[in-house]
Amino acid sequence: MDNLAILIPAYNEAQTIEKVVLDIKGVIGEIPKAVVYVYDNNSQDNTAELAQNAGAVVRHEYVQGKGAVIRRMFREIDARAYIMIDADDTYPVEEIPAMYCKVLERKVDMVVGDRLSSTYFQENKRPFHNVGNATVKFLINHLFDTNIKDILTGYRAFSYRFVKTFPVLSKGFEIETEMSIHAAESNMFVENQVVEYRDRPQGSESKLSTYGDGFKVILKIWNLFRIYHPLAFFGSISLLLAAISLLTFWFRVVVPYSHTGIVANMPTLVVTMIVLLAAIVSLFSGMILDAIQSQEKMNFEYRLIDAERQINNQIN
């Protein structure tokens, strides 16, 4: 088992990968059993060769997408602490020892490299990325009652128990959103660490699609809110349907009937009753799924215990 595993997902990063690996090796030299892993994701340049020449352990993931790469990393590597960093040379590697100490000494499950509280908005020249980061941060912190300062950062440190209990469902860049929500909903110990951010060097291109990946992130938030908070999700739908049904029933059926004594809008009456029935079904669906989710949270605690036992056995 490694003491520290540096995880670098890479796709066509020949311009920066060698510098990133060498810079990291320069700051982890005093940490025993620290290994730099580069997972090449079907790069069409010499990213893998450059990383290997710089001293990294190079492995390959042939399923395209950052989520697929992280799934492979988390399943294959055993370490007391993990640090994930992008290969584009936008993050300061000097923060690695401090993040490592937080995981080992303070027992932090996820350290978030917070760009948004430092230089991100000045360095990043893509305005819609800035708006997207702020929007996603607002949604997750309010919907999931957490205080993560930078939801979409690719610079994070993890504990063994986080890595081995995190169910990777995403295939692409929405993986960071999934990590943040999993930590919040699993009562993991999360700390923010402010880091300086610098934009990509000239000639290096981002693989992130502002609109396409942004839509996937919003959809991921929607789906995870439905999964983790089914009563709130389906209860809100139930409340909306019930309000539509009852208001329509009052103004289109009850009020005319009070004046004429005749139910003149029979089709409306039938439709409002169907909508009210849908509201009742939605409410009970949320209640049943909420009970299932409560049981899943208890089972997750048992999985955490197993993860703790595994790492203790490997250390001893």
CATH code at 149?
A: 3.90.550.10
Report the greatest alpha carbon distance in the chain: 88
12 close to 44: Cβ distance less than 8 angstroms: yes
**What mean pLDDT comes out for the span 162-188?**
89
Is the pTM for the entire model greater than 0.85?
Answer: no
Q: Is the confidence at residue 297, as pLDDT, over 60?
A: yes
Predicted local confidence at residue 207, as pLDDT:
63
Q: Is there a single domain that holds both residue 204 and residue 91? A: yes
pLDDT level of residue 157 (50, 70, 90 thresholds): very high
Q: Is the confidence at residue 116, as pLDDT, over 90?
A: no
In terms of pLDDT, which residue wins out, 102 or 169?
Answer: 102
Q: Is there a single domain that holds both residue 220 and residue 245? A: no
Of the residues 228, 252, 276, the one at which a domain ends: 228
Predicted local confidence at residue 118, as pLDDT:
80
Q: Is the confidence at residue 180, as pLDDT, over 70?
A: yes
| pLDDT tens digits along 48-80 | 999 999 999 999 999 999 999 999 999 999 999
Rounded mean pLDDT of the chain? Answer: 89
Of the residues 228, 250, 266, the one at which a domain ends: 228
Lowest mean pLDDT: which of 9-23, 74-88, 123-137, 182-196? 123-137
Domain boundaries, position 311:
230-315
Q: Is there a single domain that holds both residue 185 and residue 237? A: no
- Quick count: other Cβ atoms within 10 Å of Cβ 219? 12
Instruction: Give the chain as a 3 state SS string.
Output: CEEEEEEEEECCCCCCHHHHHHHHHHHCCCCCCEEEEEEECCCCCCHHHHHHHCCCEEEECCCCCHHHHHHHHHHHCCEEEEEECCCCCCCCHHHHHHHHHHHHHCCCCEEEEECCCCCHHHHCCCHHHHHHHHHHHHHHHHHCCCCCCCCCCCCEEEEHHHHHHCCCCCCCCCHHHHHHHHHHHCCCCEEEEECCCCCCCCCCCCCCCCCHHHHHHHHHHHHHHHHHCHHHHHHHHHHHHHHHHHHHHHHHHHHHHHHHCCCCCHHHHHHHHHHHHHHHHHHHHHHHHHHHHHHHHHHHHHHHHHHHHHHHHHHC
Predicted local confidence at residue 37, as pLDDT:
97
pLDDT > 90: what percent of the chain?
Answer: 62
Of the residues 228, 250, 279, the one at which a domain ends: 228
pLDDT level of residue 304 (50, 70, 90 thresholds): confident
| pLDDT tens digits along 205-264 | 666 666 677 788 888 899 999 999 999 999 999 999 999 999 999 998 888 888 888 877
Q: How many domains, the chain? A: 2
Q: Is there a single domain that holds both residue 76 and residue 165? A: yes
Q: Is there a single domain that holds both residue 130 and residue 35? A: yes
Q: Is there a single domain that holds both residue 276 and residue 196? A: no
In terms of pLDDT, which residue wins out, 276 or 169?
Answer: 276
pLDDT level of residue 131 (50, 70, 90 thresholds): confident
pLDDT > 70: what percent of the chain?
Answer: 93
Q: Is there a single domain that holds both residue 274 and residue 206? A: no
Q: Is there a single domain that holds both residue 242 and residue 295? A: yes
Q: Is the confidence at residue 125, as pLDDT, over 60?
A: no
How open is the CA angle 11-167-229, to the nearest 5 degrees?
120
Predicted local confidence at residue 217, as pLDDT:
86
Q: Is there a single domain that holds both residue 213 and residue 243? A: no
Q: Is there a single domain that holds both residue 105 and residue 30? A: yes
Q: Is there a single domain that holds both residue 224 and residue 234? A: no
Q: Is there a single domain that holds both residue 64 and residue 213? A: yes
